[in-house]
Amino acid sequence: MPYELKVRKIGNSYGVVLPKEALATLRVKEGDTLTLAEGAHGSMNLSAYRAEVSRQMSVVQDVMDRYRHTLRELAK
């Protein structure tokens, strides 16, 4: 379900307030960390931060960086 969020000035920064339904869907509470990642076609994906997933993504990024030429050849 899409939520319309207003960007608000908070001190010297900007933020959005998430409705309680969105927090329940994300399974987060006050003080938890969220991850905002770029998705396909300019979209953004918001998800709850998971340390294990973050560690796995770091490993994947390292492998992709080291073997970028090989992966490019395999993609042909």
Rounded mean pLDDT of 29-48?
A: 90
Shortest CA distance to 16 belongs to which of 28, 26, 8, 4? 8
Does the pLDDT at position 7 exceed 90?
yes
pLDDT at 50 > cutoff 90: no
Instruction: Look up the pTM and report it.
Output: 0.57
User: How much is the pLDDT for 13?
Assistant: 97
Could you please report the per-residue DSSP string of the chain? -------EEETTEEE-PPPHHHHHHHT--TT--EEEEE-GGG-EEEEE--HHHHHHHHHHHHHHHHTHHHHHHHT-
State how beta strands 8-10 and 34-38 pair.
unpaired
